[in-house]
Amino acid sequence: MLKLLPVFRLVALLEGVSYLLLLFIATPIKYFYEDPQYVKLLGMPHGILFMAYVVFAVLISNDMKWPTRTLWIVIIASVIPFGTFYIDKKYLTKASRA
């Protein structure tokens, strides 16, 4: 399953970027300019990336020997802006070098 680590890192990056775009670009445009097209455009890809992030986190947690607490931190970080970038730096970069 550690072969999935590079894929998980990519999904984490894309999920984090899509979340920031949705939160700080698309949502303000929707409410300030009454134009929901960017939320519609980014919403589905972000949702798919979010689900993929959670699935990959669960799949690699055993191979990474994460305690349950760490798995929950990794999952909860996906709903915090910039959280996936922190997870990549703290938990995933070290493992990909090993």
Per-residue pLDDT in tens (0 to 9) along the chain, 98 residues:
578 999 999 999 999 999 999 999 999 999 999 999 999 999 999 999 999 999 999 999 999 999 999 999 999 999 999 999 999 999 998 777 76
What's the whole-model pTM score?
A: 0.92
**CB neighbour class for 40 (10 Å; exposed up to 12, middle 13-18, buried from 19):** exposed
H helix runs in 22-92, sequence order: 27-32, 37-61, 68-76, 83-87
Spell out the residues 6+ positions from residue 96 whose beta carbon is closer than 8 angstroms to its own: 5, 6, 9
Residue 60 structure tokens: 């690699």
